[in-house]
Structure 1
């Protein structure tokens, strides 16, 4: 069995290989059962009386291609880790032979998750963003946001990047980093103005209230919504969906994301308004952008299919 630490996992997942791998897997499909969720509670005495420090949530996400590969991602979320000086989330991915059950590889699950997430957004943009889209606005400055320009540059001629974050210092720090990567990058405190100027607006936050408003978005722009993966989370207001072509990573987003559930509750969005998913786009069954003036929206919540596609790429990069 091969072991891939964070650096080795990252090196095996360049976006010019990962994005086509996702396209192939969405078109080909795989089995993705519902994830398991387990709450693990430590004894009171071991946590010093802090309820958050006692609780850990473990997510188990399986997927397989019959006769080929079987993979499982285990994600452990421990809210009390901040006080311990540790990251709040740890993830590991295990890949097995689907015929024999023999372990093939173990890799860094955090890297797999971050890179497949932004690769899925870039895959969507390859169908939905204008071919000449060159100005990217990042809403958020965290780990996922930092990877988005590189991924988008794989499918569109991204030259200019604007960064907005709640903390201006974080936006400025990311802009400085991106300039070192060859982008014309700058930070902004005026989100409404930046939305109107950008060809692609990509949101990667943990917001529970709408940050981007449809009235701010330019005709022909593409809106990418990554952050809202629970019913209580939201990055876009109802107007973002009005008159736009909407696509999802999977239909599961309709049950998970506040970005969709809240407008549906308001009557501003219907499930029938969804034009397709990454599966139908990758199979050529659905059509993404039809002209340069319409607005498009992509909403993702993540899927074990993406993890499996990335893990196979890591494994096969070592000659597996």
Structure 2
């Protein structure tokens, strides 16, 4: 079994290649059982253990199936894979100056069950999460979107910036974080040719000017107000992954054409969707589609330039498996 480090992942993956691999994955035959989500009590904020399995299916087991692509290493010989990500989220780790999220990804042969690789999970997750948002933005953000506001300055932020910049002509990035010093630090670390980076004086002022607002926080209270969103804005909500987390208020949700990564995940785990539904601000019909629908052409994303769009992701094992397979293909040729 090969141990794959964060450096290995960084050398192999590119944003465009992974976005394309994710698009193909959502069109493909991948089994994704319900994510195991366990709360672990802690003296401060509770921790979370996530187990996320997925596997590809053999075409031989589906007589009527037709391959839609050769995505992420799924070759003509129908090579199969099994994968499982093990993740821990400890929100209070920031107080200890340690990452809040840790994880590993185990990739196995779908033919024999043989372990193939143990892949560093935090980096793999950051790449696939950012690229899932960029995949959604292909359908939901205006084609001329040039100003991105990045809310949050954690490990995911630079990936979101670069991923969005790979699908839209981003010329300006405005950073905002509760701790301004961290936003400044992130700004120094962002080096993308042709992009101007600045630090927001206030979140409201930045959001009112944005074409795309991307949020990657663990906020329990809404940060983005619907009243701030100008016509044509695309709102990308990434950070919250439990019903108790929110990054946008009810008005932002109500004003938007809503899409999610997966309906089952978002309707159960995303506070930005679950809470407005419980309050009857929106109903199930307000979710116009997910990444399955968008990539398969079953529903149109943005339908007009003035429209406000919203994408909410909570993560899917499909994305992890697609990323792991792309890494494996890069290692083995």
- Fold match by TM threshold 0.5: yes
- Say if 2:309 is the partner of 1:300: no
Q: Which residue of 2 aligns with 1:241?
A: 253
Q: Which residue of 1 aligns with 2:8?
A: 8
- Which of 270, 274, 277 does residue 257 from structure 1 map onto? 270
Q: Which residue of 2 aligns with 1:277?
A: 290
SS of residue in 2 equivalent to 1:207? coil
- Say if 2:210 is the partner of 1:198: yes
- Say if 2:285 is the partner of 1:266: no
Q: Which residue of 1 aligns with 2:53?
A: 62
- Say if 2:203 is the partner of 1:212: no
CA distance 1:172–1:309, change in 2 (3 Å)? same
- Say if 2:80 is the partner of 1:89: no
Q: Deviation of residue 38 (structure 1)?
A: 5.4
Gaps of 5+ in 2: 59-79
Question: Aligned pair count?
Answer: 310
Q: For 1:301 and 1:272, how far apart are their aligned partners in 2?
A: 19
TM-score, normalised by the number of residues in structure 1 = 0.90
Q: For 1:93 and 1:305, how far apart are their aligned partners in 2?
A: 13
Q: Which residue of 1 aligns with 2:241?
A: 229
CA distance 1:19–1:232, change in 2 (3 Å)? same
CA distance 1:85–1:196, change in 2 (3 Å)? closer
Gaps of 5+ in 1: 42-50
Q: Which residue of 1 aligns with 2:165?
A: 153
SS of residue in 2 equivalent to 1:76? strand
- Which of 139, 142, 145 does residue 133 from structure 1 map onto? 145
Q: For 1:245 and 1:39, how far apart are their aligned partners in 2?
A: 32
Q: Which residue of 1 aligns with 2:329?
A: 316
Q: For 2:315 and 2:238, how far apart are their aligned partners in 1?
A: 9
SS of residue in 2 equivalent to 1:142? coil
CA contact (8 A) 2:253 2:272 kept: no
Q: Deviation of residue 319 (structure 1)?
A: 2.1
Correspondence 1:29-68 to 2 at 5 A: 29-37=29-37, 52=43, 58-67=49-58, 68=80
SS of residue in 2 equivalent to 1:120? helix
Q: For 2:39 and 2:249, how far apart are their aligned partners in 1?
A: 32
CA contact (8 A) 1:52 1:80 kept: no
Q: For 1:129 and 1:37, how far apart are their aligned partners in 2?
A: 31
CA distance 1:261–1:191, change in 2 (3 Å)? same
Q: CA-to-partner distance for each residue in 1:208-240, whole Å, 9 max, x for gaps?
A: 111111110110110001112111110101111
- Say if 2:166 is the partner of 1:175: no
Q: Deviation of residue 18 (structure 1)?
A: 0.4
Q: Deviation of residue 86 (structure 1)?
A: 5.2
Q: For 1:165 and 1:85, how far apart are their aligned partners in 2?
A: 16
Q: For 1:191 and 1:58, how far apart are their aligned partners in 2?
A: 32
CA distance 1:240–1:80, change in 2 (3 Å)? closer
CA distance 1:72–1:81, change in 2 (3 Å)? same
Q: Deviation of residue 318 (structure 1)?
A: 1.4
- Say if 2:102 is the partner of 1:111: no
Q: Deviation of residue 59 (structure 1)?
A: 2.5
Backbone CA RMSD of aligned residues: 2.2
